[in-house]
Structure 1
């Protein structure tokens, strides 16, 4: 049976309202009934840590919330719990290295560091935790190289020129000295690039191995890579070289220059010069009396993907006696 999307949306909205309206009515009824009565409840209260000295930094995790008991009227407690929660301030700027803070004693000594509406609520006690341990370390900044965690595949008929590089190649990491000493590099997120047919310019995030303690600048890098289409070119005027020629004899090669068909990235093979290709015959290794035609060896630069055709494919070598 066909059912319109519009009717489906109305059904979903209707069900949502059926759940929300009873909750709002129940909350309102609760406020009316208990709003003027006085209660004592435990509220999960965030802990805001004031930074240590500029040359120090935390090297251990501390609780982000504490369970705190407050007393007040029902309506005031409801507002504090859901709309205007209290806050605990923890100042560690005077700690040198390591210290255990007894929260009960701390907030008895510094009651003003408990932020809440004193006209509406009364602070009673810290329920949990009893103690917070503070461990500080020297705050240092270290340069680390970036390692690319990447897999790049180009489209058929295209070629990645060289390597994909990171920009920048080195980033700065700030954190506790003892933790930073455990690392020597920073990795990127897993990068998968497929069916690439143009130059690569891709922004990638860095993986922070200790996000609670390390700050990385910058926190992302750019992948840069050159991709070109594959083509072929016939290169002329390549000189033929004789290696290890005989002493007191002159050799004559015919032809003295050849042509070679190469395949590679269009830009690179178009910039290729004949002198960069080596076509040679090793006289000491290949010479056979009464033989005239020899197959030369060919060496091409790394920029050439492959070569397919040498014109002519054989070289005539004649010994001219003095």
Structure 2
């Protein structure tokens, strides 16, 4: 037992002496001066008001430092050094020749100094005017329903538009932003869900006033009905002519969501013949063009073609 206690005590002494020796060695080593290459971030500061950086800057620069071992160790672990690009006097483009004076480190001084920047040697900066405008939101969704149901257009967003901000040249070309893509299958109930907006590539440096929108989509029973005696108009006729279609009305079958069609009236359907599209060679009558409210589809237009009666200074002629 005494031998065991002596061995344990001896081991403790040896461990203490060993740890003390390592600590002494570490203190001595870290007091020496060394050179070491470190990758540090490149940071742009003082961007002028109304401007934005319009090109990709290198993320880091490799810098050779000289300093005491402990200062270099602190630099490696703290990552506090930066290469600072001051854009205060840049108006559009500028090439920064990287110099060691651009390096900022909290412990710079006698114990740590940047010797020189290894690479890159030059950084180009391009500035653009900041521009903001409203753009509409569009749904990037695919919706399928079970048989007997339909998706009622249009979709409803809240908000239905957002502000987009970024480099003027890019923003002016954008007229809409889309939601992230999502599919809905076998739907028979309406959809109300919050969607994230699809971001643009980071290189375009665009920001949104909102990053999500509420999307509401009505899913209703699919019904159809036939509407009779819808008046047929004639558009774009010359001022000196009175043009009358024969017959003067048509019928058609419409289909769509139940709520939408139950409130639909024949006055909501526009049927017209565009006189500007008529050619003298047409001999089989002229088709009517149909406009229906959003979400309403049509078919079985009767009749399919119409004759026109033209009246000009007290005489009439039929155009076939």
Give the structure-2-normalised TM-score: 0.58
Question: 1:230 and 1:182, CA in 2 relative to 1: closer, same or farther beyond 3 A?
Answer: closer
Among 102, 106, 115, the residue aligned to 2:97? 102
1:56 paired with 2:51, answer yes
TM-superposed CA distance for 1:32, in Å, is: 7.3
1:73 corresponds to: 68
1:209 corresponds to: 200
Among 168, 186, 197, the residue aligned to 1:195? 186
Name stretches of at least 5 consecutive residues in structure 1 with no aligned partner: 1-27, 244-261, 277-300, 307-322
TM-superposed CA distance for 1:166, in Å, is: 3.4
Question: 1:230 and 1:37, CA in 2 relative to 1: closer, same or farther beyond 3 A?
Answer: same
1:114 paired with 2:104, answer yes
2:129 corresponds to: 138
Give the whole-Å Cα distance in 2 for the aligned partners of 1:124 and 1:239. 86
2:166 corresponds to: 175
1:227 paired with 2:211, answer no
Give the structure-1-normalised TM-score: 0.58
Give the whole-Å Cα distance in 2 for the aligned partners of 1:100 and 1:73. 33
SS at match of 1:45: strand
Deviations 1:257-291 (A, max 9, x none): xxxxx997554566578x99xxxxxxxxxxxxxxx
Deviations 1:51-71 (A, max 9, x none): 421121111111121111112
TM-superposed CA distance for 1:206, in Å, is: 2.4
2:78 corresponds to: 83
Deviations 1:47-105 (A, max 9, x none): 2212421121111111121111112233332231133431222220221111111111x
Structure 1 moving runs of 4+ over 6 Å = 238-241, 301-306
Give the whole-Å Cα distance in 1 for the aligned partners of 2:228 and 2:180. 51
8 Å Cα contact 1:89-1:115 kept in structure 2? no
2:241 corresponds to: none
1:295 corresponds to: none
8 Å Cα contact 1:87-1:116 kept in structure 2? no
1:42 paired with 2:33, answer no
Residue-pair matches, total = 229
TM-superposed CA distance for 1:160, in Å, is: 1.8
SS at match of 2:56: coil
SS at match of 1:62: coil
Question: 1:141 and 1:271, CA in 2 relative to 1: closer, same or farther beyond 3 A?
Answer: closer
TM-superposed CA distance for 1:146, in Å, is: 2.7
Name stretches of at least 5 consecutive residues in structure 2 with no aligned partner: 1-22, 232-253, 268-291, 299-320
Give the whole-Å Cα distance in 1 for the aligned partners of 2:264 and 2:175. 40
SS at match of 1:76: helix
SS at match of 2:189: coil
Give the whole-Å Cα distance in 2 for the aligned partners of 1:147 and 1:197. 22
TM-superposed CA distance for 1:182, in Å, is: 3.7
SS at match of 2:202: coil
